[in-house]
Every structure is written in C-alpha cells, then in structure tokens.
Structure 1
Amino acid sequence: MSVRGVLLCLLMVSGCALETEPPVGPRIALAADFEGFQGWRRVALPEHSITEGHLSSEERYLYIDREAPELPEAFPTGTIVVKTIEVGPLEEWEIHAMVKRGDGYNAHGSVGWEFFDLRFDARERLSIAWRGLGDEATAYIDPTGQVRACSECHDLVPDRDFIFRRELLSEAE
C-alpha cells in the first residue's frame, strides 16, 4: 500500500472515532465533581422552604451544574444539585447534594439519585462527609440532632424526579 493509501485509511479511521458517542453508564461522583459549585447556576430558596432536618436561615440556595429540563422530563444521568444553608464561614455551612447516578441506582427509593452531605474545611477545601441512599444506608444526624434519611422525604415527589422545588431550578442563573 502506498503512503497516500495509508494516510487515507488513517484519516477515515480517525474520522469515525470522532463521531462515536461515549458509552452511557452509571455516574459515580467524587469530591472533585462538587468543586466550584458556587459558580454553577444558582437560585435563592424562598423563606421557610427547607424544613424537617434542615435548619432555616436567610441564606439558602440551590445550585445545579446544568440547565434543568422541563417537566415531565427526568434529569439526565450526571446531573448534580446542591442545596446550601450559607450561614457563617464556609466550614459552618450546611451543604447537601444529589447526584443522578442512573443505571437503576436506588431502584426502591428516589430512583437514580444518590445523596450527599458536603463540608468545607478551614482551608476552604470541599469534601464528602456522607453519601448514600438514605433509607437503605446509614442515616445521618442533622444539625438539630434528629436522625434523618434523605429518601424519606424525596421519595414523596417521584413525579418531579424527586426534586421538591424543581420549578426553581428552571430559574437558576
């Protein structure tokens, strides 16, 4: 085969590789996936909109890493939603998150979603303090001392893909 023929074959093969979609599968979040969430689309939560195990304050926000789909469309695998109660220095913030893992994860609860508690340290580094399903994993103790499991509440809104204030995410800037 001539040099020209080899180059033509390489060009054809490389062109095919560029058009292939990456395989779709489960999304497993790491601490690095949450870094910089404060720069994502953000919307302020209305007063008294976080109840149960979440403290109330004036500085409550939802962050999302992408544009929210319109109902009834489900959030795509890989979506990250973070809700914060921003009182005091970063290491005192209450930070919860949900990651859409997809691929049948949490099939008997908030389908597709994994829950997280995040923390900043004194150097403003973000880490995962807790992760799990909620009702099927070890529950966490909220700042009021109550034992909570995320799925207990989020399971109540399957028609909203388990996000309570989903309409607010459409307003996030």
Structure 2
Amino acid sequence: MRTWKRVGRSPNYRYRSQLDGNESQLIASVVNSLVELFDEREQTAPHDELAAITGITVGHSTAPTDATLGRLLPDFHRPDQDEELCAETVNGNVNAALRSVNEPHIISAKRAAAQTLLDSLPMNGGNLELTEAQALEWLTALNDVRLALGAMLGITEDTPEELPYDDPKAGHLEVYRWLTLVQMLLVEELMR
C-alpha cells in the first residue's frame, strides 16, 4: 500500500492510495471474517416475542464468551468504574439491559463500516479514492479488525515487534502490524 494523500479542496477532500492485488484480497478476507463474527453473534441472539411485536430489536443480554468478540463488544460498565454500584448489580442488571438494547445497533454500525470498506476496495488492487465519510468508516473497520486480531493473538504491551518465522502467530502479527500502519497513515492524512 502506498501512503494516503489528500486531494481536492475543502470541504470535498478525497483520500487516495493504491493497493496491490494481494493487499486488497487480504483486507477483504479479514473484513469478511469480521462480518461473519458479527453475523454469528446476531443470529444467536434470543428471540423476544415482545420485540417482534413492537419492532424493537434486542440482542444478547450476556457478554460474548469468545475473547475476540468480547474485545469487539465489551461490557458497558465494569465494577471498577463506580464504587457505589456493587459488582452484582452492574454485572447482573445494568450491563444486561444496556447490552440487550444497544448491541444490535453497535453490530449494525460495525457491519455498515465493514461494508463501506468492502464496497470501496479495489478487489484486484489498484487505485483507491475515499470521501472523508468513507475514510472514517475505513478507520472503524480497520480498528475492529485490529482489535479482533489483537485479542486472537493475545497482544499486550510486551508483545515483540516480530515473532520467529516458525511461530504459528508470526503471519497474523505481520498482518496486525501492517493494518496498524495503514490505519495510522490514514489518520495522519485526515488530521493534516
């Protein structure tokens, strides 16, 4: 991927870059995998008859048990955030209610960002030009993919920049680092 370059005049800036075919296919693959995670989570939500009658969408009331989805859809409130609420109240009532009502909308927004990225991605490589709104959606989707990969790899502050070539996580870490660079360069150009 080439660096991002802002072109045009305010307020109609566009953000250009170029991808080779392998880069486009890699981005499409990881973003499609992310969408599949969201689809699975949404499809396993409990059926609520009242929600069906009212048209109000509800989702899970419990956090995902999978570490990757847990990173993408964390609890809204943790016991260490408020000393006045006991952990049982927070974990049992507040998080369940907030999650049930908001998770479907969060998943929908994340899926929309992923779809914007996929729709604007030159599948066989080539020139890429984004509006500011599309660039922001790209940042959302790239961040979600990075969060998912980071959770899957167990990335911490102590994770080395590179892993030995024969480490099974080495390739995934390289993808994570590359996506970090793509995201950082786009952020820098948006802030310029």
* TM-score above 0.5: no
Looking at secondary structure, tell me which structure has more helix per residue.
2
Looking at secondary structure, tell me which structure has more strand per residue.
1
**TM-score bucket (shorter structure):** under 0.3
- Which protein, 1 or 2, shows the higher relative CO under an 8 Å CA cutoff with sep ≥ 6? 2
Q: TM-score, normalised by structure 1?
A: 0.23
Q: TM-score, normalised by structure 2?
A: 0.22
